[in-house]
Amino acid sequence: MKAAISVSVLFVVFAAPAADTEAVLPKPESAVSPAVLAGAVTIPRVLSFQGRLTDTAGVPVPDSVYQVRFRLYEHETGGPILWHELQPIRTEAGLFSALLGSASPIESVPEQGGLYLGIKVAEDPEMVPRPRLVSAAYSFLSSRSRHADTAWFAVSGGAGDNAWTRGVPDSVLFTVTQLGIARGGALNTLLGNGRHTHVNLGIACTTGTSGQDYAYSTVSGGGHNRATDDYCTVGGGGGNVASGYYATVAGGAQNTASSGNCTVGGGLSNAATVTNATVAGGKFGVASGYCAAVGGGVDNIAGAEFATVPGGSGNHATGGNAVVAGGSGNTANRTNSAVGGGLLNVAGGIGATVAGGEGCLAAGDHGLAAGFGSSVDSGHGNSVAFNGQATTASGQLRCGILSKTGGSFTIDHPLRPMSAVLNHYFVESPEMRNVYEGEAVLDRSGQAEVRLPEYFSALNRRPRVQLTGVGSHEVYVAEDVSGNRFAIGGPAGAKVYWQVTGERKDRGAEAIRLMMPVEQPKTGGLAGRSLDDDFLVTAMRQLEDQGLGSGFRFRTAEGRRKYEQLRRALADADR
């Protein structure tokens, strides 16, 4: 068998870098300054050798394990044997790798002159000619390898700190001492006493800080990026800075992660400035609170601990645990406040919420506003405003039109307040009428004048008066309502109960009459739909639990379908 050798050999001789505060990686073809490479280390007495075994026709030998004897000589032919050992060598497509000296350490090599390697496979004679071994300025993986096509280059010159060797398994490539890794000829800079741990593969990028021991700083690519603290990383992009410990900028441009464990995922000109803060992307976003987060969008700020702005534009969550879910120009500036979206809304009370809409304010603690221009005043806690209304008291619900299937008020039962409630129901009418009532005693002439509120005539039209005499039915309206007054006649000294109703005539009432006439045809989404069904879908479960459900029927098949869907959902929840 003929063994044809393709050789890649290097001496594994390294020196540790000195503790300089700054080192710029030179171009591969330039020499390393002695000031950079200094400080000898223990030299392992091994040589890394790679080759290829073929038969006499140049065909790779079958994959197997071959016993190969290696010898070192000072001359190309003849001469004494300086060292030898026998190794089992496994081939793959003819390729093999050996660590010479692993079985029998190489004690010495000639200080001057040549060094030649003799190779003898099994019982075959030693191959000729002997390959000459030299101190390598660079090593390479064979271009014929099936598993790699990348060349590794070490810096030439110096005391040998730039040599690479293979470990076990062969896929491990390592150096004797720790070396920083940088892309050469690209103006990259490795700074500080821990620079031997750095990785810098960008262009005009910097890792570490001059004079500091910051370790494991990484720039994976891009241009003009900086990773300047312990374990910080810039993945790529341009002009990004990771300057906090464990800080990360994944990409994008002009982004900054400047505190511990903070992250910027990408985008443009975003900043995560406090521990554990995150800006996922977008533009001009700032996460400046502990564990605060900006998901994206433009000009968003999460400026307090645990504050969150998922997106939108110009949104500010500046209270602790505050959230602005989206929209534009919204602000949640108190603890636990929230804006669901919309435009120019403000949640300014503790635990206050603006569900959405535009120009809404929830300034009262635990208040809620939604719609257009709705407002909960700062002194009105636990109040709700919808439909552009403004609250006038705490614990209040304000809305434009309240439309309902029915209505009631519920209070503690006056006689059994701890064991029962009292429900009263609304009085309903096709007219919007106000009710005024009182009592009067007729004078000696059998007359009494009743004064109504001074706003009565401004608010009401078509007034109606009802009288009830106490001990007498001979009472009557002596003068009709006029100028906010009316008169009662009857027996002298009689006591009279009176009631006046008036139909509202204010602008709000007139608008409601136009929008919601007493009789209204169903159009659009209301056509073919039963409002009773809509109500029963939510009420039937309670009615059935009380044994009262059999008295109610759905009017439409769609109503029944919705109810059955709700029933199944409730059953699933019960399980």
**Which of 139-148, 250-259, 492-501, 523-532 has the weakest average pLDDT?**
139-148
Q: What's the pLDDT score for residue 404?
A: 85
Same domain, 425 and 537: no
Q: What's the pLDDT score for residue 215?
A: 95
Q: Quick: pLDDT tens for 347-392.
A: 999 999 999 999 999 999 999 999 999 999 999 999 999 999 999 9
Q: Say how many Å lie between the first and final Cα of the chain, rounded.
A: 77
Q: What's the pLDDT score for residue 146?
A: 34
Same domain, 554 and 467: no
**Number of CB atoms found within 10 A of residue 470's CB:** 11
Tell me which DSSP letter residue 575 carries: -
One DSSP character per residue, 354-402 reads E-SSBS-EE-STT-EE-SBS-EE-TT-TT-EE-TT-B--STT-EE-S--
* CA gap 354, 327 in Å, rounded: 12
Same domain, 568 and 449: no
Q: Quick: pLDDT tens for 138-185.
A: 333 333 333 333 344 443 333 344 455 555 555 566 665 678 889 888
Assess if residue 551 is contained within a domain.
Answer: yes
* CA gap 192, 209 in Å, rounded: 5
Task: State the total domains in the chain.
Answer: 3
Instruction: Provide the pLDDT confidence category of residue 450 given band limits of 50, 70 and 90.
Output: very high
Contact assessment for residue 344 and residue 359, using Cβ atoms and an 8 Å cutoff: yes
* CA gap 384, 374 in Å, rounded: 9
Residue among 262, 225, 235 nearest 246 (CA): 262
Side chain identity at 297, as an amino acid letter? G
Residues 435, 437, 443: CA angle, nearest 5 degrees: 150
Taking phi over 0 as left and psi of -120 to 50 as alpha, with beta for the rest, 275 belongs to beta
Contact assessment for residue 19 and residue 62, using Cβ atoms and an 8 Å cutoff: no
Q: Quick: pLDDT tens for 255-264.
A: 999 999 999 9
Q: What's the pLDDT score for residue 13?
A: 32
Query: Among 126, 148, 178, where does a domain finish?
Result: 178
Same domain, 426 and 566: no
Same domain, 119 and 30: yes
Residues 71, 73, 77: CA angle, nearest 5 degrees: 110
Residues 86, 90, 94: CA angle, nearest 5 degrees: 115
The most distant pair of C-alpha atoms in the chain lies apart, rounded to whole Å, by 155
Across the beta sheet with 447-451, the strand order is 447-451, 485-489, 476-482
Assess if residue 144 is contained within a domain.
Answer: yes
pLDDT, average across residues 100-125:
84
* CA gap 513, 522 in Å, rounded: 16
Paired tokens of 88? 């089992």
Contact assessment for residue 117 and residue 71, using Cβ atoms and an 8 Å cutoff: yes
* CA gap 122, 411 in Å, rounded: 103
Query: How long, in residues, is the chain?
Result: 575
Tell me if residue 541 falls in helix, strand or coil. helix
Contact assessment for residue 10 and residue 136, using Cβ atoms and an 8 Å cutoff: yes
Same domain, 500 and 441: yes
Q: What's the CATH code of the domain at 479?
A: 2.60.40
Assess if residue 202 is contained within a domain.
Answer: no
Contact assessment for residue 496 and residue 473, using Cβ atoms and an 8 Å cutoff: no
Same domain, 559 and 418: no
Assess if residue 537 is contained within a domain.
Answer: yes
Side chain identity at 304, as an amino acid letter? A
Q: What's the pLDDT score for residue 44?
A: 61
* CA gap 98, 133 in Å, rounded: 14
Which residues contact residue 292 at a Cβ distance below 8 angstroms, ignoring those fewer than 6 apart? 274, 277, 278, 302, 303, 304, 305, 306, 307, 308, 317
Residue with tokens 């341009």: 238
Query: Among 124, 150, 178, where does a domain finish?
Result: 178
Side chain identity at 39, as an amino acid letter? G
**Which of 59-73, 301-315, 459-473 has the weakest average pLDDT?**
59-73
Same domain, 70 and 130: yes
Contact assessment for residue 41 and residue 14, using Cβ atoms and an 8 Å cutoff: yes
Measured in whole angstroms, the distance separating CA 523 from the mean position of its chain's CA atoms is 43
Residue among 391, 394, 335, 336 nearest 361 (CA): 391
Q: What's the pLDDT score for residue 149?
A: 37
* CA gap 389, 393 in Å, rounded: 12
Q: Which domain holds residue 47?
A: 1-178
SS3 content of the chain, % helix, strand, coil (to 5): 10, 35, 60
Query: Among 132, 159, 178, where does a domain finish?
Result: 178
Residue with tokens 């098949």: 557
Q: Quick: pLDDT tens for 412-440.
A: 999 999 999 999 998 889 999 999 999 99
* CA gap 79, 72 in Å, rounded: 10
Q: Quick: pLDDT tens for 395-418.
A: 999 998 888 888 898 999 999 999
Q: What's the pLDDT score for residue 168?
A: 54
Same domain, 33 and 142: yes
Q: What's the pLDDT score for residue 17?
A: 32
* CA gap 531, 295 in Å, rounded: 41
Assess if residue 91 is contained within a domain.
Answer: yes
Q: What's the pLDDT score for residue 43?
A: 52
Same domain, 514 and 546: no
Assess if residue 239 is contained within a domain.
Answer: no
Mean pLDDT of the chain: 85
Assess if residue 543 is contained within a domain.
Answer: yes
**Which of 82-96, 98-112, 127-141, 476-490 has the weakest average pLDDT?**
127-141
Instruction: Provide the pLDDT confidence category of residue 38 given band limits of 50, 70 and 90.
Output: very low
Same domain, 506 and 453: yes
Side chain identity at 342, as an amino acid letter? G
Q: CA 297, 303, 304, 305: dihedral to nearest 10 degrees?
A: 50
Instruction: Provide the pLDDT confidence category of residue 221 given band limits of 50, 70 and 90.
Output: very high
Tell me which DSSP letter residue 525 carries: G
Q: What's the CATH code of the domain at 84?
A: 2.60.40.1930
* CA gap 554, 189 in Å, rounded: 77
Q: Quick: pLDDT tens for 301-351.
A: 999 999 999 999 999 999 999 999 999 999 999 999 999 999 999 999 999
Contact assessment for residue 118 and residue 130, using Cβ atoms and an 8 Å cutoff: yes
* CA gap 173, 518 in Å, rounded: 87
Assess if residue 189 is contained within a domain.
Answer: no
Same domain, 556 and 536: yes
Tell me if residue 295 falls in helix, strand or coil. coil
Paired tokens of 349? 């009370």
Give the torsion sign (CA, 426, 432, 438, 443).
negative
